[in-house]
Amino acid sequence: MSVDTATVRRVARLARIAVSEDDVATMQGELNAILGFVEQLGEVDVAGVEPMTSVTPTEMKKREDAVTDGHKADDIVANAPVTEAHFFLVPKVVE
């Protein structure tokens, strides 16, 4: 896959990057080099290779999954005009 100058201008516009006409050819070459490298990666045989998240085997820190109210009920309703027992009170809208 190769990138033409129209595509370079479109990508620059989408990324909101100001690219002068003098730099379009340079950017075209750089984008083509990047895409060529990505195509090379597609040729690598990875059959039987386990996916990994790090080069060193580590386990993520885990916490107990417990349901709590956050212990911040007073802080949450502090700015509400009317509350009752840590709930917001609102006017009735349906009869």
Q: What structural domains does the chain harbor? A: 5-42 (1.10.20)
pTM, rounded to two decimals: 0.50
Instruction: For residue 80, give the H/E element and its range.
Output: none
pLDDT tens digits for range 18-74: 999 999 999 999 999 999 999 999 899 989 888 887 888 888 888 888 888 788 888
User: What pLDDT is attached to residue 53?
Assistant: 79
Residue 1 has pLDDT above 90, yes or no: no
- With 80 as the cut, is the pLDDT of residue 91 above it? yes
Q: Please report the pLDDT score of residue 16 as a whole number.
A: 96
CA distance 83 to 28: 61
24: closest CA among 36, 38, 11, 35? 11
